[in-house]
Structure formats: structure tokens, C-alpha cells
Amino acid sequence: MRQPQLVAVLVAGAIVAVAGARQGAEAQGLPNPYRIAEGWAQLPNGKPMGAVGKAVIDPDGQHVWAVVRCERLEEPTRFGDECRDSKTDPIVQFGPDGKVTKTFGGGLFIWPHGLDVDKEGNVWVTDAVSSNRIPKGDARGHVVVKFSPQGKVLLTVGTPGQEGSGPNQFTSPSDVVVAPSGDVFIADGHGETGNNRIVKLSKEGRFVKAWGKTGYAPGEFRSIHAIAMDSRGRVFVGDRGNNRIQIFDQEGKSLSTPWTQFGKPSGIAFDNKDQIYVADSESDDVQNPGWEEGIRIGDAKSGWVHWFIQFPWGDPRTTVGNGAEFVAVDRDGNIYGGEPAPKRLQKYVRVRP
């Protein structure tokens, strides 16, 4: 290579490196205009909270639906099948004051994980249990269940208790989002070597199409953990194993280069002002060097990050993997973080100037 060409290559490489470092730095060194509302969510009669999974906001804009996995007092560290032997209702609705207003779903799941509420108030829940956690002969797991707002089972998609990659099969589905049209999009699935695809269903639950596979290239995934939809109808996929968010239209066409500025995405949500909220519960010096756990908030159109709620290192409940895996935001701009290991639904209130 001639000297002028070599210089040009080195300069270009330096620019890319500086830009990448700047993007990472500005995604973390940011203000936090929120305060924690300590002890906001409480179960009745002082019952201990189980591991909290995904949280979403009801169509009324103020009630919060959450997966609260079944507490196991005899095995408090058990993880991955907390509801296997329990009849406790893991689907819980909280009122604006943090008190429980509704529960259902007891005995129907082994490891409830993802959740969404459609415009009619129906609640969709995924069971992301791994096959090795399903007892022999148990017809639960690898499904997505649709409930009425009162908790009646309206539809079950997938083959209960059996993993697979066919049109009516899932392998540990992580999450679900329902479009305003009623079409359903499922993040399938939780493991890095599983199906790693997005499945689109009609509002009746019929298979329409699927896209994606295990890999590192655009349109490929490793351990999909979240799926969400913005006001423009774009499908945002939390490709957690690859430390990025991928954006598609509803037919699976890629709409952008992957976003890495939100860290290692475990949960994604949007507010009514086109802001995106991303929970990063896994970043550390091994899985995502140079990044820290927390909730990053930015512009859903440009992808620019504006604020960062950092999980405190000094809190033993929020060590690596123990912060908010899931995030929701209500009509007033309050944020809710679903924290599995600390076993709490954390509320963050915007501090007004």
C-alpha cells in the first residue's frame, strides 16, 4: 500500500474509533432526572414479592401490569422455574398507589417472563421455561397465553410442554408485543442457541411469518430478550446476546443499522412523546466491556441517548444481572423497573425543575 493510502486508512480508522468511544461515553455520562419511590409496590397482607419479570402499562395509562413469579420460601435462590409447583397468581395489576388491584394465572406457567396488554385490555404472557426445567409429562411451557382483562384464558399459542421451530411451536419465548392492528409479534426465544427468531401471528393467533436465526449478522440474533413497538409501528428487538437493538418493519425488513448505544438491552419501552427507555441489566467488563447497568432514555427517532439511571454499585441487590431487566413508563412519565433478583417493582419519579 502506498504511503498516502496508508495514512488515509489510519486516519479513517482513528475517526471511527473516536466516534465509537464518544457514542459509548455519551450514553453513560448523562444526567439522571429521576428519584426512586422506595417501597412503592406491595403485595397484600405483607406477602413477600417474588422475582419480578416484565411490566407494562394498562391502556388507561396509569395501572401497571407485571409478572411477579411465585415466591419460594423453601428455596429462595431457585431461578428459572419458580412457578412450577405453585398455584400463586403470577400476573398482577397494580394501581397508581402501588396496591394490587387484580391477579390471575395461577398454575398455568412454569416461568412466566414476557407480557403485553393490547388496546382492548387483553393480557398476553409468555412462558420462557427451558425444556430441562419442565417435569416429565407437564403440559406447560413454550407457549404464549392470551387472557381477558378479568383473567379468562382466551387463546394459547404454541405446543404446551414441547419446544420446536415449526409454525405452532416456540422455544422459550421471551417476550410479546401486540400491534394496534391486533397482529402479534413474539420474541422466540430466551436462549442464545434457541430459535432466535421473531414470529408474527394474526390477531386470531394464526402463524403469518417468521424471520431471523442464531448469529451475529444484521437480522440474526443471540438470546432475544425484549420486543417492543413505537408509535410509527416499528418493531424494536432487544438482541441482548449481541449487545444491540435491531429495528424492523412489521414484515421483517431491517430499517436501521443496529443500535449499540443503549448497552445490553433486556427491556424496551416507549412513552407518548416518542422517547425510548432501555433497561440494561447485564453489562459488565466481560459481557459488554466499558458499559454499566442502568436504564438509558433517549429519542426513538434519532437514537440519541439523553438520560441514564445508573444502578448503584454499592447496593448488594443490584450487582451484575440484578438490576431492572424490564422497563415501563406511564402517561405521567414515571418509570417502572421489573427487577427479578432483588424481587421488586421499582418506581422512578421524574423530578420536576
- Residue 126 region by backbone torsions, left for phi larger than 0, else alpha for psi between -120 and 50, else beta: beta
| Residue 15 within any structural domain of the chain | no
| Residue 40 within any structural domain of the chain | yes
**H helices of the chain, where?**
3-26
Angle at 146 between CA 198 and CA 134, to 5 degrees: 75
| Residue 242 within any structural domain of the chain | yes
Burial 132-149 (b: 16+ CB within 10 A, else e): ebbeeeeebbbbbbbbeb
Structural domain harbouring 326: 31-350
- Beta strands per DSSP E along 173-213: 173-178, 184-188, 197-201, 207-211
**255 and 234 Cβ atoms separated by less than 8 Å:** yes
Mean pLDDT of the chain: 89
β-strand 267-270 against 153-157: which pairing, if any?
Answer: unpaired
| Residue 183 within any structural domain of the chain | yes
| Residue 10 within any structural domain of the chain | no
| Residue 22 within any structural domain of the chain | no
SS3 state at 334:
coil
Give the model confidence (pLDDT) of 233-256 as tens digits.
999 999 999 999 999 999 999 999
Write the CATH number for 83.
Answer: 2.120.10.30
- Residue in the structure block whose three cell numbers are 409479534: 185
Higher pLDDT, 122 or 6: 122
DSSP line for 43-63: -GGGPPP--EEEEEE-TTSS-
| Residue 65 within any structural domain of the chain | yes
The domain total for the chain is 1
Whole-prediction pTM: 0.90
Give the model confidence (pLDDT) of 58-106 as tens digits.
999 999 999 999 987 667 677 899 999 999 999 999 999 999 999 999 9
Give the model confidence (pLDDT) of 13-24 as tens digits.
333 333 344 445
Distance CA 186, CA 32 (A): 32
Whether residue 170 is predicted with pLDDT greater than 80 in this model: the reply is: yes
| Residue 71 within any structural domain of the chain | yes
> Which three three-digit cell numbers place residue 316?
448488594
